Amino acid sequence: MRLALIVAFGGVTVMVAFVMIARRAERAAIDELLDLPLSPWPGGGDIGAGIEATSGGDATRAAAELEGLAGRATDLADQVVDRVDQRRSLGLALEKARIPLKPGEYVIVTAAAGLGISALLLALTGTVLVAPIGLAAAALVSSHVVRRRIAKRRKRFEAQLPDALSLVASSLSAGHTFLRAIQMMCEEAGPPISEEFALVVAETRLGDPVVDALERMAERLQVRDMDMVVQAVRIQQTVGGRLATLLHTLSDFIRLRGELRREVSILTAEGRMSAYVLAGLVPFLFAVMNVLNPEYISALYTGKGLVILVFCALSVVAGLFTILRMVKIDV
């Protein structure tokens, strides 16, 4: 049984790897067509080229067949996601997180991780009833990773925004136009703020008003400080005035808000750490007891024991979110 699980998990892993290889070839062709730099795989070089260089003719044909199968599987997953998620919320979330995966690829990777976790739990406990826990854990972890990357990117943007506004204001004081000042700021600043404002410049070159492009960027990032900047620019272009002075004032205000936000984060760090320790202590002790004395907790795997396990898991999750919500203070 365990050997079969390992073989199945290995097959799923190989399938996911070839999904990435197939989509890598497509992205390489698109990047070459658009004259864009191709991001290397970890370790350098192109995986597809490496496989072709180190394999014989039969291996190359087998790899090509697996790539075609992976491509069809990804297309099928994309069609399913399009029917279920008509608002494209998953695609927008991946775009905000800057994860280079299509929705179908993301679903396949998550499903493979879920099967792997289910196989591991099944091998450890010996009961099939814990298999759905692995699928649920993979879905929760993958969605948390996406939300976490979005939050980290938003925080980096908020940290860069005061300095970026100061650069734009200085360029305006030197006599440059607002759009040229944004371009100069993009050349000096780093990502993610340079990427977002570069997109604003690109949309403006296509004919959109700069205020509308900024408003779309603020809606995409969900940053309240950027909402204030957009409103200030819109009011200035409507009634007139010195935009450089206004941006300097906004920069100082946003910088002070950032300092206050960091101070609140430091004061609430103890509460967050307590929540993580208390939530992680229960599964840690459960795993230790399962290894040291499995007969002691074997009754939890049958009958009412499963109900108790589910109730305990829900209690831990509810307590974790309750404590985190108590220490969360909006500034």
Is residue 83 domain-shared with residue 171, that is, in the same domain?
no
Is residue 217 domain-shared with residue 285, that is, in the same domain?
no
Please report whether residue 115 resides in a domain: yes
Please report whether residue 149 resides in a domain: no
Cα–Cα distance for residue pair 139/153, rounded to 1 Å: 21
Angle formed by the axes of helices 210-221 and 224-239, to 10°? 160
286: which 2 tokens? Answer: 């459960």
Whether residue 271 has pLDDT greater than 50: yes
Helices (H) and strands (E) in the chain, counts: 13, 0
Burial 309-318 (b: 16+ CB within 10 A, else e): beeeeeebee
Angle formed by the axes of helices 103-125 and 57-84, to 10°? 100
Is residue 68 domain-shared with residue 160, that is, in the same domain?
no
| Amino acid of residue 274 | S
Is residue 238 domain-shared with residue 279, that is, in the same domain?
no
pLDDT in tens, 146-190: 888 888 888 899 889 999 999 999 998 888 888 889 989 988 888
pLDDT in tens, 220-269: 888 888 888 888 888 888 887 788 888 889 999 989 988 888 899 898 99
Q: Please give the full DSSP string across 168-180, using - where no structure is assigned.
A: HHHHHHTT--HHH
Is residue 46 domain-shared with residue 122, that is, in the same domain?
yes
Is residue 111 domain-shared with residue 165, that is, in the same domain?
no
The residue among 71 and 15 whose pLDDT is bigger is 71
Is residue 252 domain-shared with residue 273, that is, in the same domain?
no
47: which 2 tokens? Answer: 């995986």
Question: Where among 230, 257, 284 does a domain terminate?
Answer: 257
Please report whether residue 285 resides in a domain: yes
Please report whether residue 140 resides in a domain: no
Residues 293-318, mean pLDDT to the nearest whole number: 84
Q: 82: how many CB neighbours lie within 10 A of its CB?
A: 14
Is residue 276 domain-shared with residue 251, that is, in the same domain?
no
Q: 285: how many CB neighbours lie within 10 A of its CB?
A: 10
Please report whether residue 36 resides in a domain: yes
8, 119 in Cβ contact below 8 A?
Answer: yes
pLDDT in tens, 198-215: 888 898 988 888 888 888
Question: Where among 126, 142, 175 does a domain terminate?
Answer: 126
Say what the pLDDT of residue 116 is. 80
Query: For the CA atoms of 181, 186, 190, 196, what is the dihedral angle to 10 degrees?
Result: 110
Is residue 26 domain-shared with residue 61, that is, in the same domain?
yes
DSSP 8-class letter at 195: H
Full residue range of the structural domain in which residue 95 is found? 2-126
Please report whether residue 249 resides in a domain: yes
pLDDT in tens, 63-100: 555 556 566 666 777 677 777 777 778 878 888 888 87
Please report whether residue 144 resides in a domain: no
Question: Where among 83, 105, 126 does a domain terminate?
Answer: 126
Residue 187 exposed, middle or buried by CB count within 10 Å (0-12, 13-18, 19+): exposed
The residue among 15 and 194 whose pLDDT is bigger is 194
Whether residue 285 has pLDDT greater than 60: yes
197: CATH = 1.20.81.30
pLDDT bucket at 53, cuts 50 / 70 / 90? very low
Is residue 18 domain-shared with residue 93, that is, in the same domain?
yes
Say what the pLDDT of residue 59 is. 55
Q: How many domains would you assign to the chain? A: 3
Cα–Cα distance for residue pair 87/299, rounded to 1 Å: 45
CA angle, corner 141, sides to 135 and 143, nearest 5? Answer: 105
Is residue 68 domain-shared with residue 104, that is, in the same domain?
yes
Is residue 28 domain-shared with residue 48, that is, in the same domain?
yes
Residues 302-315, mean pLDDT to the nearest whole number: 85
Please report whether residue 263 resides in a domain: no
Lowest model confidence (mean pLDDT) among 17-31, 86-100, 255-269, 310-324: 17-31
173, 244 in Cβ contact below 8 A?
Answer: yes
